[in-house]
Amino acid sequence: MKLQFLIPTLLLMSSALLFVHCGEAYDETEEEVQDETQELTERFQEQRDQMQAELKELRDEMDERISELSARIDAASDEASEGLEEAYAELVDERSELDRAIDDIGDATEETWADVRSESEEIYKDVSTRFSDWMESLEEEM
């Protein structure tokens, strides 16, 4: 008779131990997932901040050149200012592209980051190359 009660009691106790052990494993797994999620979020934020800072730095450099060019246009003769005004308009357009990319980065989420990052890198590369080319041609003219 005691055996009839002993076997179900042992089964119940071993089930309880198994349940407790599984619960601990679940808690550990959940904690690992939270840690990885936090790490991914931090990496996303660092990349986003870095990309935004690089674009802002290029934009600030362009602002300086735009201001210089504006002063040259004011001081130049009508004939000379025509070419400078075209360059000024191009720089302002390029700067607008940078502003748009900076805004897009600020609005990016972890889900949209891959696309925004790719577009922003392309814009940075294109604008930076055109800006460098423009600076070289300007130096040649001087």
Model confidence pLDDT, tens digit, residues 23-37: 555 566 777 767 777
Q: Which residues lie closer than 8 Å to 89 by C-beta, 6 or more apart?
A: none
* 3-12, 29-38, 40-49, 113-122: range with lowest mean pLDDT: 3-12
Domain hosting residue 15, numbered range: 2-141
**pLDDT given for residue 122 in this prediction:** 94
What is the residue-wise DSSP string for 2-32?
Answer: HHHHHHHHHHHHHHHHHHHHHHHHHHHHHHH
Percent of the chain with pLDDT over 70: 75
Q: Which residues are CB-neighbours of 58 under 8 A, at least 6 positions away?
A: 98, 124, 127, 128, 131
Confidence of residue 1 (pLDDT cuts 50, 70, 90): very low
pLDDT score recorded for residue 15: 62
Quick: pLDDT tens for 80-134.
777 778 888 888 998 999 999 999 999 998 889 899 999 999 999 998 898 888 7
- The CA distance from 142 to 140, in Å, is 5
CA pair distance 83, 47, nearest whole angstrom: 39
How far from chain centre, in Å, is Cα 54?
A: 10
pTM, rounded to two decimals: 0.70
The total of structural domains in the chain comes to 1
